[in-house]
Structure 1
Amino acid sequence: MMSILKLPRGRELDLSQPHIMAVLNVTPDSFSDGGSHTSYDSAVNKALELLNHGASIIDIGGESTRPGAPDVTLEDELNRVIPVIKALRGQSDCVISIDTSKAIVMKKAVEAGADIINDVRALQEPNALKTAAGLNVPICLMHMQGQPRTMQNSPQYDNLISDINDFFAQRIDACEKLGIDKKQIILDPGFGFGKTLAHNYEILNKIDAFKTLGCEVLAGLSRKSMIGNLLNRDTNERLAGSLAGALIAAQKGAKIIRVHDVAQTSDVLTVWQACEKGLDNKGNLNVG
Structure 2
Amino acid sequence: MSGETLPPEIISPVRRIGRREFDFARQVAIMAIVNRTPNSFHDQGRTFELDSAVTAARRAVDDGADWVDIGGFAFSAAQAGIGADEEIDRVAPVIAEVREVTDAVISVDTHRPEVARAAVEAGADVINDTNGLREPGMAEFAAESGVSVIVTHSLGGPGRRVFRPSYADVVSEVTDYLRERVAYALKCGIAEDKIIIDPGHDLNKNTFHSLEITRRLEEVTAIGHPTLVALSNKDFIGETLDRPQGERKEGTIAANVFCIVKGARILRVHDVAATVASVRMTEAMLGWRGPLTPSHNLA
> Per the alignment, in what secondary structure is the counterpart of residue 216 of structure 1?
coil
Q: Distance in 2 between matches of 1:261 and 1:8?
A: 23
Match of 1:12 in 2: 21
Shift of 1:38: 2.1
2:90 aligned counterpart, secondary structure: helix
Cα offset, 1:8, TM superposition: 4.3
Deviation at 1:68, TM superposition (A): 2.6
Task: Give the whole-Å Cα distance in 1 for the aligned partners of 2:116 and 2:15.
Answer: 18
Q: CA separation of 1:151/1:189 partners in 2, compared to 1, >3 Å: closer, same or farther?
A: farther
How far off is 1:95 after superposition?
0.6
Which protein, 1 or 2, shows the higher relative CO under an 8 Å CA cutoff with sep ≥ 6?
2
Within the candidate set 58, 71, 76, 1:66 is matched to 76
Q: CA offsets, 1:115-164, max 9 Å, x none? A: 11100001101211211111111110000012455555211112221111
Structure 1 residue 190 corresponds to structure 2 residue 200: yes
Question: Mind listing any 5+ residue stretches in structure 2 that lack a counterpart?
Answer: 1-8
Report if the CA contact (8 A) 1:97-1:118 is conserved.
yes
Instruction: Tell me the CA shift for residue 256 of structure 1.
Output: 0.2
Distance of 2:158 and 2:292 partners within structure 1: 50
Distance 1:268 1:7, change over 3 A: closer
Query: Is it true that 1:265 corresponds to 2:275 in the alignment?
Result: yes
Mapping of residues 128-207 of structure 1, within 5 Å: 128-149=138-159, 151-207=161-217
Moved more, 36-45 or 174-183: 36-45
C-alpha spacing 1:150/1:38, structure 2 compared with 1 (3 Å): closer
C-alpha offsets along residues 21-46 of structure 1, whole Å, 9 cap, x if unaligned? 10000111111103211222222221
Answer whether contact 1:152 1:196 (CA < 8 A) is retained.
no
CA contact (8 A) 1:60 1:96 kept: yes
Amino acid at match of 1:226: F
Q: Deviations over 1:63-99 (max 9, x none)?
A: 0113533332111111110001000111111110110
Give the equivalent residue in structure 1 for 2:50: 40
- Aligned partner of 2:6 in structure 1 is none
In 2: Cα distance, 1:133 partner to 1:94 partner: 22
RMSD: 1.8
SS at match of 1:191: coil
| TM-aligned CA deviation for residue 14 of structure 1 | 3.0
Seen in structure 2, the aligned counterparts of structure 1 residues 73 and 271 have a Cα distance that, compared at 3 Å, is same
**Quick one: structure 1 residues 6 and 112, their matched pair in 2 at CA, closer, same or farther if it must change by over 3 Å?**
same
Superposed, 1:250-261 pairs within 5 Å as 250-261=260-271
Aligned residues: 283
> Is the CA contact 1:25–1:34 (under 8 Å) kept in the aligned structure 2?
no
Q: Gapped runs of 5+ residues in structure 1?
A: none
Q: Distance in 2 between matches of 1:106 and 1:128?
A: 8
- 1:219 maps to a residue whose letter is V
How far apart are the structure 2 equivalents of 1:61 and 1:20?
16
The worse-fitting range, judged by mean Cα deviation, of 40-49 and 169-178 is: 40-49
Inter-partner Cα distance in structure 2 for 1:150 and 1:136:
29
* Alignment correspondent of 1:283: 294
SS in 1 for 2:286: helix
From 102, 109, 119, the counterpart of 2:119: 109
Distance 1:210 1:281 in 2: 32
Q: For residues 215-246 of structure 1, give each alpha carbon's deviation from its aligned partner in whole angstroms, at most 9, with x where no partner exists.
A: 11000011110011111111111111111111
How many Å separate the matches in 2 of 1:282 and 1:230?
A: 37
Matched with 1:84 is 94
Using structure 1 for the length normalisation, give the TM-score: 0.92
CA contact (8 A) 2:140 2:189 kept: no
Does 82-91 or 128-137 show the bigger shift?
128-137
State the SS of the aligned residue for 1:121: coil
The residue aligned with 1:100 is 110
Which letter maps to 2:32?
Answer: A
